[in-house]
Structure 1
Amino acid sequence: MDMLDILRAIRQLEQPAVLATIVEVEGHAYRKAGAAMLLMGSGETIGTVSPGCIESDLLERVPAICEANQYEMVEYNMKPDEDPIWGESVGCGGVIRILLEPVEGELRELLLAALEQLNRGVEVRLSREIRGQELSYELCTKDTAVNSTSNDWQYSMTLTPRQRVILFGAGLDAIPIYHLLTQSSFRVIVADWRPGLLASFSGAEIALGTPERLEGEIQLYENDAVIVCSHHLHYDREMIHMSLANKTRYIGVMGSSKRINMLFEGDTPPANVKAPIGLSIGAEGPYEIAVSITAEFIALRKEWQNQEHHKEARNDYIRHLFGSGTEQSDGQTEAAARAFPGLSARQYGASCSIG
């Protein structure tokens, strides 16, 4: 579950709802800053901010927040030696602060604009500022400079598109791979030339065709990952060659050492190829193999994110060292206006805490 699921639910909302976002963590906690959940007036929830220990308390706050149309800042102290209400029973050992916001009006417009950009593969940043009792929002692309003018409180969260995975091969062993990757917040496109096999992937993004045809159907990008598991030697080799030609960041190949040797005609696979795919955990059978593949992808996603953050930090240092060009008189407002014209929001609310 990630923010994309919450945004999709907001798009379908037909009832009052509150967005709960962890904005600060001190010490240990089940979820980190940026984790969010959607709390609906009906009592339904999407996402998590704890193992389930504070959700009921958050839900009780929903009617008052929606009625007043005001944000609320709450604090939960999970330290057993400081808070007899939460700490002893929860035992997480930290303090978390959660921002609760009614999802309506211009805030909802901003969130839906963020969803539209994420669906296009564009990373965005949502910033919140409190000035006195006023809560304001700005949405911009990640490369747009934002100048904070708040003296009270400011929080920004980056919303990242899901890692795209092309799953080539729609056999029975691909079904658990698809489900586990999808449930782990990857965007999976299932590709195969056999329509009968693709019929097993109800609701999935699918692409019908051999690799030669898929080259015109699917535009492969450098940030894509590809899983090759059609078990057809000729087509698997074609898919590998196409992925290499498009310089995709990762190509995972399923199969035995003998089959992999045949696919690469005895040559050592390139550095961006993992063959056989998956973590070495002694997996047997389709489901366990799918677990090993999903675990590897989760680890790789974190590694790729760290690489991107390192690259961004280096670029920020270079810009600071050599100058960053013309500055706008109101950088934050101008940034949002350029990226998403007309989309900004201001709300008023009171802050309180418990614990």
Structure 2
Amino acid sequence: MDMINILRTIRQLDRPAVLATIIGVEGHAYRKAGAAMLLPLNGDTVGTVSPGCIESDLLERVPSIWEASRYEVAEYNMDPEDDPIWGEAVGCGGVIRVLLEPIEGALRGILMDALDLLDAGKEVRFMRGLKGEELFYELATEETVRFPSDESYDWQFSIRLTNRQRVILFGAGPDAVPIYQLLMQSSFHVIVADWRPRLLAAYPDAEHYLGTPEQLKEKLQLSAEDAVVVCSHHLHYDREMIKWSLTSRPKYIGVMGSTKRIGMLFNGEVPPATVKAPIGLSIGAEGPYEIAVSIAAELIALRNQWRNKQKEVRHEPIRNLFGGGTEQPNGQAEAAAGAFFGRSARQYGASCSAH
């Protein structure tokens, strides 16, 4: 999810920066392979690749990487057996390999191409390939496309880039504010809709639409990929919004309200399978903030389920160097540092500062 923010920041960026991408994980780690972070020279970072353990070290590498105009691979060993001080303190117990690339030339160009495709509503697969000591980049826009096996590549690594899951938040009352905030912080694309201008004024930075459900049809253009949260607390308009949403068959429709009110909304009938009523995970939530947590948690869980069928990160075995991928105990392919032999900068354990 960080990549959308990173790409949009790069588009506006007018200063040197380095892109950090996790390309290999052995054992446990806070973020998985494919997680990325933008490291501008001035230190204003976007995204995360750890809970704060390795960021300082990564930032220290930025000036030299930019000056050399060359990528680098940093390796961080958090295994307590190899490093009883830092490994145990961090509690990760794994090895993380991070590819650092200066944002310039071919990389910047292809990242901007990827953003243009995402803005056009397409999914993108971004591939890096290593030939000797040179990195090459490719894009594919069809989900079913697999990059051809090219024996001239010593190593390949690809990630799937998608737009944020769109959530229509119908109802802009005070209890919707924490829902909006949590969903935005959880990398959803939240659109607030209501027929009351006074309530929409509480969302000055949000994408918002004014109108009744009937008026919103043309403005919002619901799709099967959307999720809808109905929380206007107006019986007639909530019912209209649910009815319209059902005809568009979005992935999820969540309805806020008591069991009695939900019974009134559906005329005593059992809601369809795509409708979650009442909305949110059953955690005994009370009050707007706890309810917002239950809703955000439910949507995060569902988003991950929807994406499980298509892995966000696809690893290609390292060829020519090891005679195929070597399986690790945690199921990950042999990590990429070996493929970058001679270009790999390694840092064990003490990558975390003691401040």
**Partner AA of 1:147 in structure 2:** P
Note the 1:34-183 alignment, pairs <5 A: 34-83=34-83, 86-141=86-141, 142-149=143-150, 150-183=152-185
**Partner AA of 2:261 in structure 1:** R
2:294 to 292, 295, 310: 292
In the other structure, the counterpart of 1:329 is: none
**Partner AA of 1:146 in structure 2:** F
Q: Is the 8 A contact 2:29 2:94 kept in 1?
A: yes
In structure 2, C-alpha distance between the alignment counterparts of 1:227 and 1:83, rounded to whole Å:
48
Q: Superposition RMSD on alpha carbons, in Å? A: 1.8
State the Cα deviation string for residues 245-297 of structure 1 (Å, max 9, x = none). 01111100000111100100011100000000011111111111101100111
**Partner AA of 1:261 in structure 2:** G
State the Cα deviation string for residues 193-232 of structure 1 (Å, max 9, x = none). 1111111111111111111111111111011110001111
- Confirm whether residue 354 of structure 1 aligns to residue 347 of structure 2: yes
Scaled by the length of structure 2, the TM-score of the pair is: 0.86
In the other structure, the counterpart of 2:324 is: none
In structure 2, C-alpha distance between the alignment counterparts of 1:62 and 1:217, rounded to whole Å:
44
Shift of 1:111: 1.2
Give ranges in structure 1 of 5+ residues lacking alignment. 314-348
Shift of 1:309: 5.3
**Partner AA of 1:272 in structure 2:** T
In the other structure, the counterpart of 1:190 is: 192
Q: Is the 8 A contact 1:252 1:275 kept in 2?
A: yes
- Confirm whether residue 221 of structure 1 aligns to residue 214 of structure 2: no
State the Cα deviation string for residues 160-187 of structure 1 (Å, max 9, x = none). 1111100001111111100100000000
What is the DSSP-based 3-state SS (H/G/I as helix, E as strand, rest coil) of the residue aligned with 1:176? helix
**Partner AA of 2:90 in structure 1:** V
**Partner AA of 1:350 in structure 2:** R
Q: Is the 8 A contact 2:26 2:95 kept in 1?
A: yes
What is the DSSP-based 3-state SS (H/G/I as helix, E as strand, rest coil) of the residue aligned with 1:276? coil
Q: CA distance change for structure 1 residues 240 and 308 in 2, over 3 Å: closer, same or farther?
A: farther
In structure 2, C-alpha distance between the alignment counterparts of 1:116 and 1:186, rounded to whole Å:
19
In structure 1, C-alpha distance between the alignment counterparts of 2:258 and 2:89, rounded to whole Å:
49
**Partner AA of 2:149 in structure 1:** S
What is the DSSP-based 3-state SS (H/G/I as helix, E as strand, rest coil) of the residue aligned with 1:125? strand
What is the DSSP-based 3-state SS (H/G/I as helix, E as strand, rest coil) of the residue aligned with 1:352? strand
* Percentage of pairs with the same residue: 68
Q: Is the 8 A contact 1:70 1:350 kept in 2?
A: no
In structure 2, C-alpha distance between the alignment counterparts of 1:118 and 1:216, rounded to whole Å:
22
Q: Is the 8 A contact 2:21 2:36 kept in 1?
A: yes
In the other structure, the counterpart of 1:264 is: 266
Q: Is the 8 A contact 1:76 1:86 kept in 2?
A: no
In structure 2, C-alpha distance between the alignment counterparts of 1:282 and 1:84, rounded to whole Å:
41
What is the DSSP-based 3-state SS (H/G/I as helix, E as strand, rest coil) of the residue aligned with 1:189? strand
Scaled by the length of structure 1, the TM-score of the pair is: 0.86
In structure 2, C-alpha distance between the alignment counterparts of 1:263 and 1:93, rounded to whole Å:
51
Q: CA distance change for structure 1 residues 309 and 75 in 2, over 3 Å: closer, same or farther?
A: closer
**Partner AA of 1:353 in structure 2:** R
State the Cα deviation string for residues 282-338 of structure 1 (Å, max 9, x = none). 11111111011001111111111124559xx9xxxxxxxxxxxxxxxxxxxxxxxxx
Q: CA distance change for structure 1 residues 88 and 292 in 2, over 3 Å: closer, same or farther?
A: closer
In structure 1, C-alpha distance between the alignment counterparts of 2:212 and 2:310, rounded to whole Å:
33
Give ranges in structure 2 of 5+ residues lacking alignment. 315-341, 349-355
**Partner AA of 1:274 in structure 2:** K
Q: Is the 8 A contact 2:129 2:153 kept in 1?
A: no
State the Cα deviation string for residues 38-80 of structure 1 (Å, max 9, x = none). 1111122111111111111111110011011100011111112
Shift of 1:82: 1.2
**Partner AA of 1:271 in structure 2:** A
Report which stretch shifted further, 65-74 or 102-111. 102-111
In structure 1, C-alpha distance between the alignment counterparts of 2:101 and 2:69, rounded to whole Å:
8
In structure 2, C-alpha distance between the alignment counterparts of 1:228 and 1:308, rounded to whole Å:
29
Q: Is the 8 A contact 2:77 2:94 kept in 1?
A: yes
**Partner AA of 1:109 in structure 2:** G
In the other structure, the counterpart of 1:342 is: none
State the Cα deviation string for residues 109-159 of structure 1 (Å, max 9, x = none). 211222222233321111001111111011121333421314421100111
**Partner AA of 2:180 in structure 1:** Y
What is the DSSP-based 3-state SS (H/G/I as helix, E as strand, rest coil) of the residue aligned with 1:137? strand
What is the DSSP-based 3-state SS (H/G/I as helix, E as strand, rest coil) of the residue aligned with 1:354? strand
Shift of 1:189: 0.6
Alignment: residue pair count? 318
Report which stretch shifted further, 175-184 or 300-309. 300-309
Report which stretch shifted further, 48-57 or 15-24. 48-57
